Amino acid sequence: MATGLIELRDIHKIYRVGEVEVPVLKGVSLSVGRGELVAIMGASGSGKTTLMNILGCLDRPTSGQYWLDGKEVSKASPDERALLRNRKIGFVFQNFNLLPRMSALENVMMPLSYTTRALSDREAKGRAMAWLERVGLGDRFSYEPSRLSGGQQQRVAIARALINRPPLLLADEPTGNLDSQTSEEILRIFETLNREEGITVILVTHDPEVARHAGKVIRIRDGMIVDGASA
Amino acid sequence: MKLSKTLRTALRALRRNPMRAVLTTLGIIIGVGAVIAMMEIGNGSSAAIRRTISSMGANVLLVLPGSAASGGVSFGAGSAVTLTPGDVEAILRECPAVRSAAPVVRARTQVVYGNRNWVPVFIYGTTPEFLAVRDWMPLAEGTAFTDRDVRNASKVCLLGQTLVRELFGGESPLYKEVRVQNVSFRVVGVLASKGANMMGMDQDDILLAPWTTLKYRVIGSSLSSTNQSSSSSASSSSGTSASPFYPGTQLRLYPAPSPTQAADTPLPARFTNVDQILAAARSAEEIPLAIRQITDLLRERHRIRPEEPDDFNIRDMTEVTKALASTSTLMTRLLLSVALISLVVGGVGIMNIMLVSVTERTREIGLRMAVGARGRDILRQFLTEAVVLCLAGGAIGILAGCGGSFLVTLFLGWPTETSVPAIVASAIVAATVGIVFGFYPAWKASRLDPIEALRYE
């Protein structure tokens, strides 16, 4: 039914803490088209992390429907969701989440080991190198994360997120651990990727400075969308 | 995910913390190493014990002729004249369970050298193969007599250590002549010391000569040994004493037969006979088989009808063989139980560290799940790590065990023997331990919630 990349319809998420039910998302509906650069903003506790987990197929909604790239995923099994995460979604985290004591190249190649269509070693390496060059780390292939700066680590993480050419890039506070100048560089990379590769980017943040780079801002408060729900 | 890739991922993960990997697998290394070393040392010792016992004659079968009776008087076991040198050759040729066999012609008489004399317990006429049957190679000095000496009835002999001591004092006996009932024998070799046998008889008090020599030159004729007890005691007494005071010959109860009577009732000696046959089975396990084969063969050769009893007896050292078998099974079981305990301990160590590792790498697991790893991918990854650890530990343990047993041989001089089954079994057990004790941590890892895992500090 949906033409956009992401289509959420009346998503509810209720956590159960003992006997008490805590509603976090109270009927979220939104749609994001292909090639958009969207920021999801909200204060902490507003439910934006939960929304992000659902968008990233890490969690499933209590009720409501979610179409990702034309596929209904709110009822998918854990294995199906793993496959979707692998194929359709790239994650960028606030704390980079690189594997220690592995080179930048190995970190970038890591998601390839879970793809169903196995690439040859040479292909995999070539692809990882291309992405690292793309994010400006052409001279840091063999560096381990501990020898890279925060900005460089985040670039490795971006390259890793893109290795499987997903149509959607989800960034959870991607600049939260970076200084303002590095943040600016990282955000510019997102913009460039969005513009040149047509990758849909969703930035989850509480920082208005970050949201400024987005083409569209969705504000969430108390589990409800207050602004920018539809395209 | 292909196996090679899984393996590489596991190796990479282990390389990230080599110190811990080594410590984790130390339990397996020590376990497997100890098992291998113990198996090799144990194998070596039990082989040495086996060799010692078999040098005492555990594998030796003694074939004695049956009893002869004359006029209601039985002469006891070994008195019939039924065994021939041809039987020995046939046994060697047709009994596959027999390693070697030798005929024995016995005498008991005086041996003289210079002004000394001695009556050895054993004077055996035999073939060179006797030494193989009794595990008596190599000689202390000189060389054994040969088959040619047997064919020629050469006057050569080998002496046991006791006999050498008694006759020669400190001198070397080699190429000296000793006399046995006025027949000169040249000493061509001296046997190694063997000590007392299980009956307490001194096995070194022995003279070995070609059986032909002893039979035809010393004992005289095949007829004279027909009745062993009387003839040998007669010959020995005639050798040791020329005394008129003590009659060496028995009183004759019956008048001496005239030549005509003798021709009418020939003594049943139709061929060259030997007093005993010694045969060695290939191994302790093959003794019953060897007995059966020899029995069948000799019954056929002696043309004994099915309903008739054997005209020979076969003796084996059942008691010794039984002791031998129970010793080696006991040893094997002991080692096996120690092995199992140490491997279980090693396995628990692996499980412990793998659990710690899963907790420590919760974030990594979360990340891997976020980029598309399914539960079973994670399970496989951690299981592979555990198995790789165990197999590597097993391999190092095998090397360490072999090295250890080599050092033991080098410095302590204990005999060791490489045991291939032990190596194979340890490798299999190590892999099994990896799977069994790696499964729970891996399963735990695969059940993690990616959201929780990613947020884990």
Q: Would you kindly state where each structural domain of chain A is located, as residue ranges?
A: 6-224
Do B209 and B225 fall into the same domain? yes
List residues bridging with A12 in a β-sheet.
A26, A63
Got the DSSP string for A26-58? EEEEEEE-TT-EEEEE--TTSSHHHHHHHHTTS
From B395's Cα to the closest Cα of chain A, the distance in A is 26
The Cβ of residue B245 has, within 10 Å, a number of other Cβ atoms equal to 5
Whether residue B158 contacts residue B144, with contact meaning beta carbons closer than 8 Å, is answered with yes
Do B73 and B39 fall into the same domain? no
Whether residue B6 contacts residue B387, with contact meaning beta carbons closer than 8 Å, is answered with no
Shortest CA distance to A13 belongs to which of A3, A21, A23? Answer: A23
The amino acid at residue A1 is: M
**Is any Cβ of chain B less than 8 angstroms from the Cβ of A145?**
no
Distance from the Cα of residue A217 to its chain's centroid: 16
Beta strands in B283-440 (DSSP E): 312-315
pLDDT of residue B321: 66
**Is the pLDDT score of A1 beyond 70?**
no
Do B201 and B281 fall into the same domain? yes
List residues bridging with A172 in a β-sheet.
A204
Do B386 and B336 fall into the same domain? yes
The amino acid at residue A18 is: G
% of chain A exceeding 70 in pLDDT:
97
Q: How far apart are CA B199 and CA B57, in angstroms?
A: 12
Residue B257 within any structural domain of the chain? no
Q: How far apart are CA A139 and CA B354, in angstroms?
A: 36
Do B124 and B195 fall into the same domain? yes
Residue B252 within any structural domain of the chain? no
Q: How far apart are CA A43 and CA A25, in angstroms?
A: 14
pLDDT of residue B419: 77
Q: How far apart are CA B224 and CA B343, in angstroms?
A: 69
Do B341 and B436 fall into the same domain? yes
Average pLDDT over residues A189-194: 92
Whether residue B110 contacts residue B180, with contact meaning beta carbons closer than 8 Å, is answered with yes
Residue B250 within any structural domain of the chain? no
CB pairs under 8 A between A and B: 63
Find residues 64-83 of chain A whose CB sits inside 8 Å of chain B: 78-79, 82-83
Find residues 27-56 of chain A whose CB sits inside 8 Å of chain B: 53, 56
pLDDT of residue B2: 67
Residue B255 within any structural domain of the chain? no
Q: Would you give per-residue pLDDT tens digits along chain B (457 residues)?
A: 567 778 888 888 888 788 888 888 888 888 888 888 877 877 777 777 777 776 666 788 888 888 777 677 777 766 677 888 889 999 999 999 999 999 999 888 899 998 999 999 999 999 999 998 888 878 888 999 999 999 998 999 999 999 999 999 888 899 999 999 888 999 999 999 888 776 778 888 999 999 999 988 888 643 444 444 444 444 444 444 444 555 555 566 777 777 777 777 665 555 688 889 999 888 877 888 999 999 999 999 888 888 888 888 888 876 666 776 677 778 777 877 877 787 788 888 888 888 988 998 899 999 999 998 999 999 998 999 888 888 888 899 889 988 888 888 888 877 777 778 878 888 888 888 888 899 999 999 999 988 888 888 7
Residues in chain A: 231
Do B78 and B208 fall into the same domain? yes
Whether residue A187 contacts residue A175, with contact meaning beta carbons closer than 8 Å, is answered with yes
**Is any Cβ of chain B less than 8 angstroms from the Cβ of A111?**
yes
Do B110 and B235 fall into the same domain? yes
Contact between A82 and B1 using a beta-carbon 8 Å cutoff: no
Whether residue B335 contacts residue B38, with contact meaning beta carbons closer than 8 Å, is answered with yes
Q: How far apart are CA B216 and CA B105, in angstroms?
A: 11
**Is any Cβ of chain B less than 8 angstroms from the Cβ of A13?**
no
From the list B5, B370, B450, which residue is nearest A113 (CB)? Answer: B5
Give the global pTM: 0.65
The Cβ of residue B19 has, within 10 Å, a number of other Cβ atoms equal to 7
Q: Please state at what angle helix B420-446 crosses helix B18-55, rounded to 10 degrees.
A: 150
Q: How far apart are CA B415 and CA B405, in angstroms?
A: 9
- The DSSP letter of residue B251 is P
Got the DSSP string for B289-319? HHHHHHHHHHHHHTT--TTSPPSEEEE--HH
Question: Where does a domain end: B316, B336, B371?
Answer: B316
Average pLDDT over residues A176-201: 91
Residue B391 within any structural domain of the chain? yes
Average pLDDT over residues A122-135: 91
Mutate to test the interface with B, among A24, A99, A101 (most CBs of B within 10 A): A99
**Is the pLDDT score of A103 beyond 60?**
yes
Q: How far apart are CA B107 and CA B103, in angstroms?
A: 13
The CATH topology of domain A6-224 is Rossmann fold (3.40.50)
Radius of gyration (C-alpha) of chain A in whole angstroms: 18
Give the number of domains in chain B. 2
From the list B17, B367, B375, which residue is nearest A97 (CB)? Answer: B367
Do B39 and B98 fall into the same domain? no
Contact between B371 and A86 using a beta-carbon 8 Å cutoff: yes
Do B216 and B293 fall into the same domain? yes
For residue A79, the chain B residues in CB contact (below 8 A) are 374-375
Domain that holds residue B109: 59-242+269-316
Do B24 and B85 fall into the same domain? no
Whether residue B35 contacts residue B339, with contact meaning beta carbons closer than 8 Å, is answered with yes
Shortest CA distance to A148 belongs to which of A156, A138, A159? Answer: A156
Contact between B373 and A114 using a beta-carbon 8 Å cutoff: yes
Average pLDDT over residues A48-77: 89
Contact between B12 and A56 using a beta-carbon 8 Å cutoff: no
Residue B30 within any structural domain of the chain? yes
Q: Which chain B residue is nearest to residue A164, measuring alpha carbons?
A: B371
For residue A59, the chain B residues in CB contact (below 8 A) are 451
pLDDT of residue A2: 46
List all residues 6 or more positions away from B243 whose beta carbon is below 8 Å from its beta carbon: none
Average pLDDT over residues A158-164: 92
From B6's Cα to the closest Cα of chain A, the distance in A is 8
The amino acid at residue B305 is: R
For residue A164, the chain B residues in CB contact (below 8 A) are 372
From the list A58, A100, A102, which residue is nearest B370 (CB)? Answer: A58
Which residue has better confidence, A141 or B316? A141
From the list B9, B16, B450, which residue is nearest A113 (CB)? Answer: B9
Contact between A97 and B371 using a beta-carbon 8 Å cutoff: no
Residues of B with a Cβ under 8 Å from any A Cβ are 1-2, 5, 9, 12, 15-17, 363-364, 366-375, 377, 450-451, 454
Residue B248 within any structural domain of the chain? no
Contact between B374 and A100 using a beta-carbon 8 Å cutoff: no
From B454's Cα to the closest Cα of chain A, the distance in A is 8
Contact between A79 and B16 using a beta-carbon 8 Å cutoff: no
**Tokens linked to B325:** 């078998």
Q: Compute the C-alpha angle B349/B350/B351, nearest 5°.
A: 90
**Tokens linked to B106:** 């016995």
From the list B15, B363, B373, which residue is nearest A97 (CB)? Answer: B363
